[in-house]
Amino acid sequence: EVRLVESGGGLVQPGGSLRLSCAASGFTFSSFWMGWVRQAPGKGLEWVANINQDGSEKYYVDSVRGRFTISRDNAKNSLYLQMNSLRVEDTAVYYCARVTQLGNFDHWGQGTLVTVSS
Amino acid sequence: DIQMTQSPSSLSASVGDRVTITCRASQGIRNDLGWYQQKPGKAPKRLIYAASSLQSGVPSRFSGSGSGTEFTLTISSLQPEDFATYYCLQYNSYPRTFGQGTKVEIK
C-alpha cells in the first residue's frame, strides 16, 4: 500500500523558515517524480513544486521560486520542502503527492499545516 | 501559464441526479487532465486521469470526457457519499494548474 506521511508543519513568523518532510513507503520511491501541493484555508488547490527521480529536475510555481527548495533523499525514501522567507500568504495545508508517469498526482499524504503569523 | 476555468463553482443536487462539471483550458492540453474529489479535512482523491480513464476502485458512475480545451466530469447518479468538492488539474505543462473547484451540495 502506498503511504505518504508529511511532517514539519507549525507556526512560524513572517520571514522565518520551515522544512517539511514526507516519508514514503509501499512503492519504489526512487522510480517516481514527487511533488508538493498546498491549500490555503477555505481555498482551492495550488501546485507548488515537482522533482524528478534523481533530483536533477525541479519545477516551481512562480510565487515560491527563489524562496522554497524541493529536494529528496532516495536512500531515506523521503521528500522535503525547505521554505524560507515565509509570508502570511504561504499559510496552507501542504500535501506531498506521488506523480505518475503521465504527470498527474495519484497518491497524496494527509497534509501538514503551515501557519505564518506574527 | 495555462488557466483552468471550472464551472459551476457550486451546485445543489439531489441523490440520483445527473451532475456535470466542466473545465476549460486557456490553451490546448491534449488529454492531460485529471479530476479529483476532496471531502472536508481530507486529502484529494484522484477519480479520473488522461481525461477519461477511471481510477481503479472508483465507481463507474463517474466518467470523464473531452480533449484539447473542453473537459467534463459526469456523475451519472449522485450518491450521498459524492457530496464533496471537485477539482480539475492540467498536467500538460508547467506550472501545473488546478481549476477553482466545484462544491457539490445537497439540495
Distance (Å) of CA A111 to CA A93, A96, A107, B41: 6, 7, 12, 9
Tell me, yes or no, if A27 comes closer than 8 A to chain B by beta carbon: no
Grid cell at residue A27 = 512503492
CA dihedral A3, A44, B77, A109 (to 10 degrees): 0
Residues of A in contact with B55 (CB under 8 A): 106
Residue of B nearest to A63 (CA): B95
Tally Cβ neighbours within 10 Å of residue A45: 25
Under a CB-based contact definition with an 8 Å cutoff, are residues A98 and A32 in contact?
A: yes
Rounded Cα–Cα distance for residues A24 and A2 (Å): 8
> How does pLDDT run across B42-98, given as a tens digit for each residue?
999 999 999 999 999 999 999 999 999 999 999 999 999 999 999 999 999 999 999
C-alpha span between A17 and A82 (Å, rounded)? 8
pLDDT at position B107 is: 87
Residue B12 pLDDT exceeds 90: yes
Q: Please tell me the predicted confidence (pLDDT) of residue B23.
A: 98
Q: Would you place residue B11 in the very low, low, confident or very high pLDDT band (cuts 50, 70, 90)?
A: very high
CA distance B83 to B101: 13
Residue A69 to residue A59: CA distance in whole angstroms: 10
Partners of A44 on chain B (C-beta within 8 Å) are 87, 98-101
A70, A58 contact by CB (below 8 A): yes
Q: What does pLDDT average to in each consecutive run of 10 residues of chain A (118 residues)?
A: 98 98 98 98 98 98 98 98 98 98 94 98
Does B94 contact A104 at a Cβ distance shorter than 8 Å? no
Counting one residue from chain A and one from chain B, the pairs whose CB atoms sit within 8 A come to 59
Q: Which three cell numbers stand for residue A5?
A: 506521511
**Residues 25-84 in B contacting A (C-alpha not used; CB under 8 Å):** 32, 34, 36, 38, 42-46, 49-50, 55
pLDDT value of position B106: 86
Peptide bond connecting A41 to the previous residue in cis, omega within 30 degrees of 0: no
Distance from CA of B28 to the nearest CA of A (A): 16
Report the SS3 class of residue A30.
Answer: helix
CB-CB neighbors (< 8 A) of B88 in chain A: none
